[in-house]
Amino acid sequence: MPGGRPRAFDPDVALDRALELFWRQGYEGTSLSDLTAAMGINKPSLYAAFGTKEQLFAKALDRYVSGPGAFAREALAAATVREVVERLIHGAVELTTGPRTPPGCLNVNTVHACGADAAPVRELALACRMAGEVALRRRLEQALDLPPGQDPATLARLVHTITDGIAVQAAAGRTRKEIREVADLALRALLPA
Amino acid sequence: MPGGRPRAFDPDVALDRALELFWRQGYEGTSLSDLTAAMGINKPSLYAAFGTKEQLFAKALDRYVSGPGAFAREALAAATVREVVERLIHGAVELTTGPRTPPGCLNVNTVHACGADAAPVRELALACRMAGEVALRRRLEQALDLPPGQDPATLARLVHTITDGIAVQAAAGRTRKEIREVADLALRALLPA
DNA sequence: TTATTTTCATACCGATCGGTACATAACTAG
DNA sequence: CTAGTTATGTACCGATCGGTATGAAAATAA
C-alpha cells in the first residue's frame, strides 16, 4: 500500500486561516480565491482536504465553538446564577473585541448572511444558537439561587439578547473599553447586589 | 421642451419593493436580477431611475430610517427618560418582528455585510447608527430625571446594545411574543419602578 | 528500476455578478 | 405631420463566482 505524495500544508493551521477569514468577512463575503490565498493552497487541495466551501465553513464553525466560543459552555459550570451570567456576558465582550481576532461574533454574523446560497450555513448557526439557549435555560431552571419571580426561559433569552447586542456593537467598531462599560452596567441592572 | 416617454412604473412603490428585498436578503444577498424582478422593471430602467445598486440602497436606507425606523427619532421627544427608553425598546421589538415586514433590522443586517464591495453601504449604516447614539446620549445628558450616578453615554450605549440584540433575536427567527417578554424583562431591570 | 497512490499546479467549466450599448417605442412641442 | 426627448426591452460586456478536468510531481512498495 503506497503512501502517496505528502501534504505541503498543515490542515490545522489552514483551517484556522479559514476561520479567521469567515469571521472577518462572513460566509458570503469570502470567496474561494480569498480562502486559497489566505490558506496558502490551491483550490483542488482545498476541496480535497475540506470539501465544499459549505463543508469548510461547517468545520470552521466547529472550531470556533470549541475554541474561542468555548467559554459559553464552560460558563454554565459556575456555582451561582450571578457567576454564570457574569461569565457569559464578560466572555462575549472579550470574544468579540479581541485585539488579535476579527471584531464581532462568527455566529451572529452568519445569522445575517441572508443570501439564497447561504441558507445551509445559516441553519447551522441557528442550530448552534438554539443549543446554547437551551443549555442556559436548563442551567437556570435547575438553579437554587434564582431570584424569586424570575422566569428561567425569559432570563436566558435576555442574557443572549445582550450578548447578541454586544456582538453587534463590536462588529460596528466600538472599542473594547466602551463595551466593557456597557456590559458592567448591564450586569448591575440585571443582577442588583 | 418635449416630455418624452412616460414611466411605466411608480418609483415610489418600486423603491418600497427594493427596501423590502434589501431588508430581507441583505445588500450582498440581493442581486440586480432579484431587484428588477421584484420591482417589475428592467435593469436599464432601474439604473436610470435610481443609479447604481449602491445608490439605490442608500435611497432604500433613507426610506427605512424615515419610515419604519422613524420611531427612534420620535421616541426622544418623550417627556421622561423612562418613556424614551420604553419607546425605543418597544419600538425595536415591533419594527423587527412585524408580520408584514422582514424579520430583523436593515441597519443591523447591513453592519454585518462584510464583503469588500459592501464597504460603502456598511459605512452608511454605521454613520446612521452613530447619529442615533449621539442623539440618544444628548437627550439623556439634558434629562433632569436621570437616576443619580448614571452615565448618559453608557446608558445610551446599553439601550442600543439591547435594541441591537433584539434585532439579532428577530433575525434568528424568534417570535414577537417571546421578544416582547424579553424586552419587558429588560425594561424592568433597566428602569426599576 | 517500475507500479501505485496521493497531492499539487494550471487551466478551464458554466453560471452569475453589476452594469451598459443599442435600437425601438411612446410621449410632447412646434 | 416632424423633430426632439425620455423610457423600454434585448442582448451583451468583462469580471468573478464555486467547482473541476487533467497531467505532472512526490512519496511508498515491490
Q: What's the rounded Cα separation, in Å, for the pair A170 and A167?
A: 5
Q: What's the rounded Cα separation, in Å, for the pair B58 and B186?
A: 32
* Contact flag, residue B66 CB and nucleic strand D, below 7 A: no
pLDDT the model gives residue B30: 96
* Contact flag, residue B47 CB and nucleic strand C, below 7 A: yes
Which residues in chain A are closer than 8 Å to B93, comparing Cβ atoms? none
pLDDT the model gives residue A114: 78
Average pLDDT over residues B57-71: 98
Task: List, for residues B14-56, the tens digit of each pLDDT value.
Answer: 999 999 999 999 999 999 999 999 999 999 999 999 999 999 9
Going by the DSSP 8-state scheme, the letter that residue B118 receives in this structure is: G
Task: List, for residues A28-47, the tens digit of each pLDDT value.
Answer: 999 999 999 999 999 999 99
Identify the sign of the CA torsion A106, A112, A114, A120.
Answer: positive
Task: Count CB atoms within 10 A of the CB of residue B49.
Answer: 16
pLDDT the model gives residue A36: 97
CB B97 within 8 A of CB B156: no
Higher-pLDDT residue of A50, A6: A50
The residue length of chain B stands at 193
Task: List, for residues A61-106, the tens digit of each pLDDT value.
Answer: 999 999 999 999 999 999 999 999 999 999 999 999 999 999 999 9
* Closest chain A residue to B157, measured at CA: A182
Which residues in chain A are closer than 8 Å to B126, comparing Cβ atoms? 172-173
Alpha helices in B70-150 (DSSP H): 71-75, 81-96, 106-111, 119-141
pLDDT the model gives residue B193: 77
Q: Is A143 on the interface with B (CB under 8 A)?
A: no
Which residues in chain B are closer than 8 Å to A190, comparing Cβ atoms? 189
Q: What's the rounded Cα separation, in Å, for the pair B113 and B138?
A: 29
* Closest chain A residue to B192, measured at CA: A189
Q: What is each CA distance from B114 to A128, B55, B59, in whole angstroms?
A: 21, 18, 20
Task: List, for residues A117-164, the tens digit of each pLDDT value.
Answer: 999 999 999 999 999 999 999 999 999 999 988 999 999 999 999 999
Average pLDDT over residues B161-169: 98
**What cell does A87 get?**
461569565
The angle formed by the CA atoms of residues B115, B120 and B123, to the nearest 5 degrees, is 100
Average pLDDT over all residues of chain B: 96
* Residue A193 pLDDT > 80: no
Could you tell me the pTM of the whole model?
A: 0.96
Query: Which residues are within 8 A (CB) of A56 and not within 5 positions of it... i.e. 6 or more apart?
Result: A15, A18, A35, A46, A50
Q: Which of B122, B162, B164 to mutate to test the interface with A (most CBs of A within 10 A)?
A: B164
A29 Cα distance to chain centroid: 17
> Angle between the A152-171 and A176-190 helix axes, to the nearest 10 degrees?
170
Average pLDDT over residues B79-91: 98
Question: B114 and A174 in contact by Cβ < 8 A?
Answer: no
Going by C-alpha positions, the residue among B180, B5, B193 that lies closest to residue B91 is B180
* Contact flag, residue B9 CB and nucleic strand D, below 7 A: yes
Q: What's the rounded Cα separation, in Å, for the pair B56 and B72?
A: 23
Question: B116 and A29 in contact by Cβ < 8 A?
Answer: yes
Tell me the pLDDT band of B116, cut-offs 50, 70 and 90. confident
* Residue B1 pLDDT > 60: no
Q: Which of A168, A174, A177, A184 to mutate to test the interface with B (most CBs of B within 10 A)?
A: A168
For chain A residues 37-56, those near strand D by a CB cutoff of 7 A are 42-44, 47, 52-54
Higher-pLDDT residue of A61, B148: A61
Going by C-alpha positions, the residue among A67, A63, A69, A171 that lies closest to residue A113 is A171
User: Coil, helix or strand for A158?
Assistant: helix
Question: A26 and B104 in contact by Cβ < 8 A?
Answer: no
Tell me the pLDDT band of B121, cut-offs 50, 70 and 90. very high
Task: Count CB atoms within 10 A of the CB of residue A20.
Answer: 18
Phi and psi angles of residue B48, each rounded to the nearest 5 degrees, phi first? -65, -35
* Closest chain A residue to B102, measured at CA: A114
CB A48 within 8 A of CB A13: no
pLDDT the model gives residue A1: 53
Q: What's the rounded Cα separation, in Å, for the pair A139 and A135?
A: 6
